[in-house]
Amino acid sequence: MELTFATGNILTYNADTIVLNLFEGVADPGGATGSADGATDGAIRRLIAGGDFTGKLNQTAILYPTQGLSASRVILVGLGQSDAFSLDRARQAAGSAARVARDLGAEHLASIVHGGGEGGLDYEKAVTALVEGTGLALYRFTAYRTKPSDDKELVRFTVVELDENRKEEAERGAAVGRAIVAGVTLARDLGNTPGNDLTPVALAERLSDMAAETGLSCEVWDEKRLEKEGMRTILAVGKGSANPPRFIILEHQGDGADSPVAFIGKGITFDTGGISLKPTENMWDMKFDMGGAAAVAGAMRAVAELKPKQRVLAVIAAAENMPGSRALKPGDIIRSMLGKTIEIRSTDAEGRLVLADAVAWMARQNPIAAIDLATLTGACVTALGNSASGLFSNNDELVAGLEAAGERTGETVWHMPILEAHRDQIKGDYADIKNTGGRPGGACTAAAFIEEFVGDMRWAHLDIAGTAWTDKSRPYVSKGGTGVGVRLLLDWLQNRT
């Protein structure tokens, strides 16, 4: 879809479909919506008076004006209560309108900026939200369809602004939105790709190509290099598979500052549970067990386009967890990169194992702060459902920054504890630690396990097991891999202090 920007009156703009908006409970619309109402002889007020449109968040109504407007179709979208309006609600409204337009067969959609008027949202950020919501709502994963699709697609989307003095702001906001959409699209594509095609080697090749295209640096470590570096936890998880593990390093140099901001992704490209085999039901969706890696890859794709001054270093620990003849077994004891010994109680607690060496390696790079993302525990899904990611950290400032980013992006995080009791649960009987502390507090004990490898590094862990995949579409989130974490990381990066 082509993204363009135009200045002028949207009522006379030459697009087949335009988007206008209204807050809930407003009987006499103003702004562009009021002008459209006047041009159509009160058509919008009649909708409101008849109870057909209330302005409830994401509600839509369609008008086919016969006079006063250049467009042949108007989509009116509800913004909800004005005192509850936010960037995420602007994103939702944009997504709701975009999907209606696409399903109606629109080819060129033009929209005003939701909440960008006097006294509303920050204008540049409102433009970003508009572009994000529109682009993300239109996402489809069609790579494996063999028959020609009759799905309708928007060809062009235009942001229309009446005030010519806001052109530069709008173009900056649109550029950020475009980069975010590209990053989230990459993350969703990776999460939706089946495990037979997205092996650790294939993931490394794909990200190496992406880095070459966008100007990031990329280094990929194979089994020999992993052995040389002492990354035995990653090697141990990958032993049972014919598809070998990989360690992927992506870097944006920024202004060349010595200390980077760090992202770390769990990249289990398929998880059978290993010898501790998962039940057959729903195992198919374990292709998304690399959701943390997908988020990191998507964030770095956007970083490459946005080019922040801050140096950003990202790593992905990629492996396939299979029950082959060489697979890790319950009761085995392995030694980590730090020399710490780990007793394996469940081979299905493998994500924390690959993160152990990845986190330890990152700590040696002395980052300003490090954030790991992982589809780590069903316990986190039990605790928080599918509406929030679990947040664990050793730094209050990092927690506050991620919570604020979650509120702005709609990718909610919920701060959870690592108590001394959780640390006690993972103390080993025959080794230093064990890789699971049992069912009670499972998300907390998993975080406590990763904490063992953090050292003095400022660190946060995001358990995205409940948010990286969805069986139900939402206004700008499509069914399947959600790409969660991309927008959160970018927002935190842009707003960190």
Helix and strand totals (H; E) in the chain: 15, 19
Residue 367's CB is within 10 A of a number of other CB atoms, namely 21
pLDDT band at 497 (very low <50, low <70, confident <90, very high): low
Quick check: is 429 in a domain? yes
Strands (E), 402-449: 413-415, 433-434
> Do the domain assignments include residue 274?
yes
Read off the pLDDT of residues 265-287 as tens digits, 9 standing for 90 and up: 999 999 999 999 999 988 999 99
- Band (pLDDT 50/70/90 cuts) for residue 119 is low
**Residue 130 scores a pLDDT above 90:** yes
pLDDT in tens, 282-327: 899 999 999 999 999 999 999 999 999 999 999 999 999 999 999 9
Domain finish residue from 162, 196, 229: 162
Asked if residue 262 and residue 343 are part of one domain, the reply reads yes
Encoded amino acid at 78, one letter: G
* Same domain, residue pair 239 and 374: yes
Q: Does residue 148 register a pLDDT over 80?
A: no
Parent domain of 14? 2-162
Of the three residues 115, 130, 162, the one that is the final residue of a domain is 162
Quote the number of domains for the chain.
Answer: 2
3-state SS, residue 168: helix
Within-domain flag for 170: no
Tokens of 246: 């990989």
The CATH code of the domain that includes 89 is: 3.40.220.10
* pLDDT tens per residue across span 341-382: 999 999 999 999 999 999 999 999 999 999 999 999 999 999
For residue 463, list its beta bridge partners.
374, 390
**Does the pLDDT of residue 166 top 70, yes or no?**
yes
Q: Is residue 340 pLDDT above 80, yes or no?
A: yes
Residue 175: inside a domain: no
Q: Is the dihedral of CA 450, 218, 245, 388 positive or negative?
A: positive
Identify whether residues 323 and 464 lie together within a single domain.
yes
Contact 240, 324 (CB under 8 A): yes
Supply the mean pLDDT for the chain. 96
211 and 123 in one domain? no
| 75 part of a folded domain | yes
- Confidence class for position 147, pLDDT limits 50, 70, 90: confident
Same domain, 126 and 258: no
227 with 322, same domain: the answer is yes
* Mean per-residue pLDDT, 133-137: 98
Residues 211, 323 within the same domain: yes
Q: Are residues 315 and 218 part of one domain?
A: yes
Does 479 lie in the same domain as 341? yes
Active site residues: 278, 352
| Residue 330 belongs to some domain of the structure | yes
Q: Is the pLDDT assigned to residue 92 strictly greater than 80?
A: yes
Question: Do 228 and 143 share a structural domain?
Answer: no
Paired with 317 in beta bridges are 247, 266
**Of 162, 196, 217, which residue is a domain's last?**
162
Using one digit for the tens of pLDDT, what is the confidence trace for 411-468? 999 999 999 999 999 999 999 999 999 999 999 999 999 999 999 999 999 999 999 9
115 shares its domain with 217: no
Query: What is the reported pLDDT for 118?
Result: 61
Q: Is 263 helix (H, G, I), strand (E, B) or coil?
A: strand
Asked whether residue 389 is assigned to any structural domain, the reply reads yes
Looking at the fold, whether 155 and 248 belong to one and the same domain comes out as no
Hey, what amino acid is at 30? G
Query: Which pLDDT value is given to residue 258?
Result: 81
Residue 167 lies in a domain: no
State the pLDDT confidence band at 117, using cuts at 50, 70 and 90. Answer: confident
